[in-house]
Copies of this chain bind each other. A is one copy, B any other.
Amino acid sequence: MTNNVSFNDLVELTSSLLHKGFGYSPQEAGITATILVEADARGIASHGVSRLAFYRTNLNQGHAHPGRVPQIVHETPCSLVIDGQAGLGCYIADFAVKKTIDKARTTGVCYSSVRNSNHYGIAGYWAEQVAKEQMIGMAFTNTYIAGVPTFGNLRILGTNPIAVAIPEANGQIFLLDMATTTVTHGKVELYDRRHKPMPLGWVVDEKGLEVTDATAFEKTFYQTNYGGHLYLGGVGEESGGHKGFGLALLVELLCSGLSLGASSLQTYSKGGSGQIAHFFGALRMDLFGKAEDIQSHIGQILKSIRESGKAEGQDRIYIHGEKEKEARALSLEKGVFLDQATKDYLVGLCKEYGVEAIKGL
């Protein structure tokens, strides 16, 4: 536990800061704090409590507004369209996912498309909530512009993550949660801080050409919309960059397309609301037979992959979601790790808002 903080303490502190400091309602604060701490606990620090700074900026810029109630603007027995009313992303996602699960419980399957929302934390968390109900869970979202299309030079789509969760045997969950860009921006920042050249396939410059100098890239990244992340598969078509770009575009069409929402390019415009769009899905396992049999069969397939031959120098093949699950278990046992900058930031917020700090900060 040395230097780490207790999971529950951190949720409570984050919730207090959001409520007392940022003006979130207790409900909004509770769900948001849970998602942020879940990310830290799973080792996804880029989406953890350090995001409080971003959430605060969103309030200050008028992108996000506490107290807004999501509105269902279209509904069928197996679908929902929700307008988030420029409220808080985690709260809106929680609302949408619960409604989606409820409908799927009755009809077998439900999809919801959400517009006018904000950042909702790690996509995988939402897909996982569905999978806990013995349904296949899906959670997609567009984001602020980050990536450049194949043969383009302008950032016009987000990191547009895909998350799909499938319940397998023994309560385990296959959880694929991936940005459709090769890497997230946090990785580029890390290489910048360490003055380390980036691998090819991560980013292009304002001419749409591959570059490896993270520091030079970062200098121009925030000045214009030119240059940015490459999608999975890298530059051009030879290594499949057009496939990653296609996945990002698919996410965009499901999120902002089906909800008549804003596209990534229109998100977080000056003075405007966040305009983030999501897409959720829930598909009952027992639509295809006895859920238990299917989950056991899926467990066998995954087992055969875990046990298959290893590359030289490797001793484990990871199934998606395992690393994060193990990190989470360790965080519950030994506390959640936070880097010094994040601790300092939290301590600063505690002083500013008169909230008592927790052990380990």
Contact = CB atoms under 8 A, between A and B. Distances in A.
Interface of A: 74, 76-79, 81, 107-109, 111, 113, 148-154, 156-157, 164, 166, 174, 176, 178, 182-183, 199, 201-202, 204, 207-209, 226, 232-234, 238-240, 242-244, 246-247, 249-250, 252-253, 256-260, 263, 265, 283, 285, 287-289, 293-294, 297-298, 301-302, 304-305, 308-312, 314, 316-320
Nearest to A301: B263
Given A79-B108, A288-B113, A304-B265, A317 B150 contact: yes
A204 B311 contact: yes
Nearest to A314: B151
B294 A260 contact: yes
A207 B166 CA distance: 31
A335 to B, nearest CB: 26
B182 A297 contact: no
B246 A320 contact: yes
A208 B291 CA distance: 35
A184 B318 CA distance: 24
Nearest to A201: B239
B111 A287 contact: yes
B108 A76 contact: yes
Contact of A226 (B154, B304, B309): B309
Nearest to A245: B320
A150 B318 contact: yes
Contacts of A78: 78, 107-109, 287
The 9 closest A-B pairs by CB, nearest first: A208-B311, A154-B309, A79-B287, A151-B314, A176-B246, A257-B298, A178-B243, A207-B312, A258-B288
Given A149-B308, A311-B152, A244 B258 contact: no
A254 B147 CA distance: 29
Contact of A260 (B74, B234, B289): B289
A240 B297 CA distance: 28
Contact of A240 (B79, B157, B232, B293): B232
Contacts of A285: 258
A204 B182 CA distance: 20
B151 A111 contact: no
A9 to B, nearest CB: 32
Contacts of A209: 311-312
Given A156-B304, A178-B246, 20 more contacts: A76-B108, A78-B108, A151-B316, A152-B308, A152-B314, A153-B309, A164-B250, A166-B253, A201-B239, A207-B311, A207-B312, A232-B240, A232-B243, A234-B239, A253-B298, A256-B301, A257-B294, A260-B294, A263-B304, A265-B304
Given A74-B289, A76-B287, A153-B309, A320 B240 contact: no
A163 B4 CA distance: 45
A199 B239 contact: yes
A217 B270 CA distance: 54
